Amino acid sequence: MTTRPRPAAPPPAAARDAKIPTLAISPEKVSYIIAKAREFDVKDVVTDPDSGSNAADDAMLSVLEDHKDDPVVAELRAAIFALNVDEQIDLVTLAWLGRGDGGVEDWDDLRAEAARAHNRRTASYLLGIPLLSDYLEEGLSQLGIAYDEGSLT
């Protein structure tokens, strides 16, 4: 007796019926911010702010500490400030979507809340979210957009 393969379970109704939104921000811009956020995420808090030792003597560990004049933070802030308001709102909404604050079917509600909360501190807000890069990548994934680190040059 031969057995037939069992068909895959259909996706949940919410995922099937959800309309994929059109983003104001390009996936390339989000990918750049993900890459920079990953660079920022590996940084550590400053443990010895007045270290007078040579970094080479400390196995270069101070390089991973987060400093006020950190160029990665400056690049991230500049990239976020360069976005128009709609792109900033979509970026926050993607982070919330990836964090699990709602599903694709809730995009309009999440985006409306992000628009209501929008202010000039978007960069600071986003940089304060632990795992920002993971949330943005997951948000893109839920919209059917794959993050491709290799496409960044």
Residue 15 in domain: no
| Amino acid 56: pLDDT | 53
User: Is pLDDT at 2 greater than 70 in this prediction?
Assistant: no
Average pLDDT score over the chain = 80
Structure-derived torsion over alpha carbons of residues 116, 117, 121, 123, reported in degrees to the nearest 10: -90
What are all long-range contacts of 129-134, with beta carbons under 8 Å and residues at least 24 apart? 129/95, 129/99, 131/41, 132/37, 132/40, 132/41, 132/95, 133/33, 133/34, 133/35, 133/37, 133/38, 133/41, 134/98
100 belongs to a structural domain: yes
pLDDT of the residue at 5? 44
Is 139 a domain residue?
Answer: yes
Handedness of CA 30, 125, 75, 86 (dihedral sign): positive
Alpha carbon 7 to its chain centroid, in Å, reads 35
* Residue 13 forms part of a structural domain: no
Q: What is the pLDDT of residue 72?
A: 86
pLDDT at 122: 95
Domain limits for position 132: 24-46+53-145
**pLDDT of 11 strictly over 80:** no
Question: Does residue 93 lie within any of the structural domains?
Answer: yes
Threshold 0.75, pTM exceeds: no
Q: Is the pLDDT of residue 151 over 70?
A: no
Count how many domains the chain has: 1
> What's residue 147's pLDDT?
85
The predicted-structure confidence for 47-68, as pLDDT tens digits, reads as follows 555 555 555 555 544 544 555 5
User: Once rounded to an integer, what is the mean pLDDT over residues 20-43?
Assistant: 91
Residue 121 lies in a domain: yes
Residue 2 lies in a domain: no
Q: Is 62 helix (H, G, I), strand (E, B) or coil?
A: helix
